[in-house]
Structure 1
């Protein structure tokens, strides 16, 4: 895959990811954990078929010998899958996506604490600005119903941070963690522990068709495509392109579900996205000036 095609494909991936909010707003009867259960179940079914066709049965053998890191990574993926969909049923799409956008900065902070990764000054500044944006959002929502949903959404970037840190620690010890089977493990775990919480089922055929579409086209396929793009694109490029999910997701929910984002979310989101953009842009410039330098995280 050429660099240009990888960029174009990553844009398509972010567009597929961003459909979760607008599709969830079209559900008629399914609510909360049932939404998560069906999406995760359809993701499992899709990944089993895709992985078996793409990599053969050997991919399932690697899962058995993946070691603790793979299963911890899978647990983190399950938290991400579950918290994301539950949060969407509790608060606005914009709240969820802006909160998720702090993932790279959470990752940098956790890596600094746990594995002593050096953080450049620009990243500390980005963390401070993004933190102010999230604090502004939370402050304006305090005492409102959307506050709980935003706190649930915060579990996603926390899980992202620990997922990346565990993976990096394993790789530093010479153990390569295959992230694609880890995604499958995460979907299986999410399905298992949301099943009792989803009972009794209320989804009708209309809801099931939408949730099947989310499982296959919003999660399973784009996750695999993103892994393919990550083999060609540099980490800062992936981080920048992934921000398109926030823009696409808010726009689709606005246009397709008449979900107008609150002014506090737009203001806080502008701070978060701006901090991420400037941080990644400065990092990319620094690496281009010193191509032989091993870059610090974020």
Structure 2
């Protein structure tokens, strides 16, 4: 009876996981629209405000759900959370920069290479088996990427395409880090990425002489992205990791 109950729970978790992953994809696709609606803010200013709202939201959520600080959970899990948090900073930075410097369609297509990168990283780092069909898909994807990037050579769009690939690699590294720390709660990694991004972008803004005060429109949209990012993190505890 226990075995049947366990299988039923696992099946439900998987269904919820698939639903959350689909929702995450939909929410991630709205980032391009949000960034296009920003008037003057550059990538570092956007990330600064986005990180503030995301970290505050998640801190309150952790307190309400578990009654303990996310820092306690971070210390309990250790290195996988830190690696995942840093990977997300790279993913977010590259994602926003790419959308500001190339077309949304081009950036989104390059973001879609993240699963292939994750498969290769998982094979290298975690020694997870990769199917032959997956290797074929990876080779085809690399060929398509080469054509797309070559078409953008000699322009600002090339930097945007390379940043999109860097973002995809960040998400791939994040995925592998989740697998590494799958025995524990990995949602604190998203909270930690917000703190990392806040510290890094604040230093960059001061270093480049960028204002940390945005217009109401840019500030509202940037902080709204932080809330959407938390929703995109739901698959972390939905039975798919």
TM class by smaller structure: 0.7 to 0.9
Please tell me whether residue 179 in structure 1 is matched to residue 186 in structure 2: yes
Residue matched to 1:153: 164
Return the offset for 1:201: 3.0
Residue matched to 1:193: 200
Point out where structure 1 has 5 or more consecutive residues left out of the alignment: 236-298
Q: 2: CA distance between counterparts of 1:6 and 1:165?
A: 17
Residue matched to 2:231: 221
Q: Contact 1:103–1:161 (CA<8 Å) still a contact in 2?
A: yes
Return the offset for 1:220: 1.5
Q: Which one of the candidate residues 93, 96, 102 is aligned to 1:91?
A: 102
- TM superposition score normalised by structure 1: 0.69
**Cα RMSD for the two superposed structures:** 2.2
Q: How many residues align?
A: 226
Q: 1: CA distance between counterparts of 2:148 and 2:128?
A: 29
Residue matched to 1:40: 51
Mapping of 1:66-145 within 5 angstroms? 66-145=77-156
- TM superposition score normalised by structure 2: 0.84
Q: 1: CA distance between counterparts of 2:124 and 2:28?
A: 30
Q: Contact 2:81–2:181 (CA<8 Å) still a contact in 1?
A: no
Return the offset for 1:182: 0.7
Residue matched to 2:6: none
**CA distance change for structure 1 residues 8 and 124 in 2, over 3 Å: closer, same or farther?**
closer
Q: 2: CA distance between counterparts of 1:220 and 1:164?
A: 16
1:20-52, Cα deviation, whole Å (9 max, x unpaired): 111111112212211111112211111111222
Q: 1: CA distance between counterparts of 2:218 and 2:166?
A: 26
